[in-house]
Structures are given as structure tokens and as C-alpha cells.
């Protein structure tokens, strides 16, 4: 299995931990650090909807708290509760901006539609990103 296949498998597993009683849309992510360690995440919703954390940011914030600063790739999978993955789940704008804080333009976003893997770079999905 390639690291991309392994990351997709880890994201599918992470999706099982989704807390999404409001949208019933379950997302999983798996973030590969440059040192080979993987941090997973799921979306965690809140009755105050704006407090919801996406799966990608859950994975990033866990990794940052563990001292990681160099990242290679993230896989993301999402689908409604009770359904298998049938289309890609592209990261929201806030998650793209979080990626831009910590990742190079070559950072890989690995998307899975239930059958095939599509790989984008951060510069593909967030060109001309804001930086201080």
C-alpha cells in the first residue's frame, strides 16, 4: 500500500469518531507529518454551530500540540451518516487557510471518492494565500 492509500484508510477510520448530530455529515482526516507520524481527526460539531471544528483542523491542532511543524499530506473523506463515500470532500476555506499557516505550497491534499484518489497541492486549492 502506498502512503496515500494508507492515509485514506486512516481517514476512513477517523470518520467513525465524527461527532455530527446537527449536520449528520461525517468527515475524517489523516495528516502525515514529515517524520512519518500520522494524526487523525474528525469533525466535532456544537449546538452553537460556529463552534464546530472540521476534521482537518482537528488533525492539525492535535499535531501542532504534539510539537509537529512539518507536514507532507492530508487525506480527507466525508459523506452523510450511514452512507459510504461516493464523492470527494474538499476542505473548506477556513481549513485551507489553516493549512497555509503550516504547510508549503507542495503540501498534498488527498481526496477519495470511494473509488479513486485525487491529489491536489495546497497551491492548487489556495493560490495567493494570505500571509503576514
Binding mask 46-85 for ligand THU (x = CB under 6 A): ------x-xxx-----------------------------
Residues 87-116 that bind ligand THU (CB under 6 A): 89, 91-92, 95
Give the distance from CA 72 to its chain's centroid: 12
Place of cell 493549512: 99
| Distance in angstroms (rounded) separating the CA atoms of residues 48 and 53 | 11
In this structure, the strands spanning 71-80 and 25-33 are antiparallel
Q: How far is CA 57 from CA 1, 86, 114, 117, in A?
A: 26, 23, 22, 21
Size of the site for ligand THU (CB under 6 A): 14
* 45 is a site residue for ligand THU (CB under 6 A): yes
In this structure, the strands spanning 117-121 and 38-42 are unpaired
* 40 is a site residue for ligand THU (CB under 6 A): no
Q: Which of 15, 20, 85, 111 binds ligand THU (CB under 6 A)?
A: 20
Give 3 or 25: the residue with its C-beta nearer to ligand THU.
25
| Distance in angstroms (rounded) separating the CA atoms of residues 103 and 28 | 19
* 30 is a site residue for ligand THU (CB under 6 A): no
Question: What are 93's three cell numbers?
Answer: 476555506
83 is catalytic: no
**What does the binding site for ligand THU look like in residue numbers (CB under 6 A)?**
20, 23, 25, 27, 43, 45, 52, 54-56, 89, 91-92, 95
Amino acid at each position: 500500500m502506498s502512503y496515500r492509500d494508507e492515509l485514506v484508510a486512516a481517514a476512513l477510520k477517523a470518520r467513525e469518531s465524527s461527532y455530527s448530530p446537527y449536520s449528520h455529515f461525517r468527515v475524517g482526516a489523516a495528516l502525515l507529518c514529515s517524520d512519518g507520524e500520522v494524526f487523525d481527526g474528525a469533525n466535532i460539531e456544537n449546538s452553537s454551530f460556529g463552534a464546530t471544528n472540521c476534521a482537518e483542523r482537528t488533525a492539525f491542532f492535535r499535531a501542532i500540540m504534539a510539537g509537529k511543524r512539518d507536514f507532507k499530506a492530508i487525506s480527507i473523506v466525508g459523506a452523510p451518516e450511514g452512507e459510504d463515500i461516493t464523492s470527494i470532500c474538499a476542505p473548506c476555506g477556513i481549513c485551507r487557510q489553516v493549512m497555509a499557516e503550516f504547510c508549503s505550497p507542495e503540501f498534498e491534499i488527498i481526496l477519495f471518492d470511494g473509488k479513486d484518489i485525487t491529489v491536489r497541492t495546497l497551491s492548487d486549492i489556495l493560490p495567493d494565500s494570505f500571509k503576514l
